[in-house]
Amino acid sequence: MGKALLLGYTADADSLLNLLKRLRAPGGCPWDRAQTRQTLSRCLRNECAEFVEALDQGDKEHILDELGDVMMNVFLQVAVAEEKAEFTLEDVWAHVIEKMIRRHEHVFGSGQAGTPEEVLALWEKVKAREPGRTAAKSLMDKVDQSLSALDRADKLQSRAAKGGFDWPDATGAAAKVDEESREVAAAIRQGDDAAIDEEIGDLLFAIVNLTRKRGGRTAEELLRQANYKFERRFRAVEKKLADAGKSCESSTLEEMDALWDQVKKEEIR
């Protein structure tokens, strides 16, 4: 893709920042001028989610578009910081480059790390030596509260595993899922809503743990894929109903379930 010259703006970081500054300046865009760090943070979360969705879909053009939206939101935060005279874009570049060099001691220094696991261990040691770092009082410290519940469960479990509180393999984690599933069923039989809620939460936590122990894709990623699959199949059921002159509202559960099975079989072919 060639670099486009539009209204004097070229395809580079400085041009993007200057463009955003223009939008936030007097006479610029009322929406951009009204944004604060807090409102922009909500936009950034949404844009990051859309970027991840584009990655899941593997759509090159969609990835390019959503990555641009993420960068735009990040640069808006820089514009706000410059307005407050806190730091500049150059400060951001210098800070992240210095940090990456410092934490990759095995590449730029005398550190030794030959596997991804050894790299992560060295990374944590380097972080612990950095000025301003305080000794953690608990392995649970600094697990970000803003993470999704699934991602946070994974992080909490990973932190506990560092202290040796972990199943030796996925077999134990799978057995825990079975145990929690039986406890959900028992709570349902008893009709205790509070107990049902608690046991379902425990079951979800156990499933995240099983996913973590297997390695590879996270529970968050697997659930996103399950969501995509459900949405795709349900849309296909709706189309089959529409082709027959019907809708979900005018159909029985048995009719929709039969179409669901049909859609699944068609996917396998």
* Domain ranges across the chain: 13-86, 92-133, 149-216, 221-268
Which fold does the domain 149-216 belong to in CATH?
Answer: Helix Hairpins (1.10.287)
- Please say if the pLDDT value at position 4 is more than 60: no
- Cα–Cα distance measured from residue 198 to residue 64, given in angstroms and rounded to the nearest whole number: 42
Residue-averaged pLDDT of the chain: 92
The answer to whether residues 231 and 239 touch, using CB atoms and an 8 Å cutoff, is: no
Closest CA to 180 of 190, 195, 165, 160: 195
CATH class of 13-86: mainly alpha
φ and ψ at residue 6, rounded to 5 degrees:
-125, 115
pLDDT in tens, 227-248: 999 999 999 999 999 999 999 9
- Structural contact between residues 15 and 9, judged by C-beta atoms closer than 8 angstroms: yes
pLDDT of residue 67: 96
Residue 44, pLDDT score: 93
Tell me the average pLDDT across 68-75: 96
Sign of CA dihedral 102, 108, 110, 111: positive
Residue with tokens 């970027």: 51
Q: Please tell me the distance from the alpha carbon of residue 152 to that of residue 204, in angstroms, as a whole number.
A: 12
Joined tokens for residue 78:
């820089």
- Whether 13-86 and 149-216 share one fold: the answer is yes
The reply to whether the predicted model has a pTM over 0.75 is: no
CB atoms within 10 A of CB 168: 8
Q: Closest by alpha carbon to 211, among 171, 176, 170?
A: 170
Q: Among residues 145, 163, 149, 168, which one has the least CA distance to residue 223?
A: 149
Classify 139 as helix, strand or coil: coil
User: What are the two backbone dihedrals, phi and then psi, of residue 9, each rounded to the nearest 5 degrees?
Assistant: -95, 130
Amino acid at 240: K
For the stretch 162-172, pLDDT in tens is 889 999 999 99
pLDDT recorded at residue 3: 52
For tokens 């989610």, the residue is 49
| More confident of the two residues 141 and 40 | 40
3-state secondary structure of 9: strand
In angstroms, the CA 65 to CA 189 distance is 50
Q: Quick one: 138 exposed, middle or buried, by C-beta within 10 A (0-12, 13-18, 19+)?
A: exposed
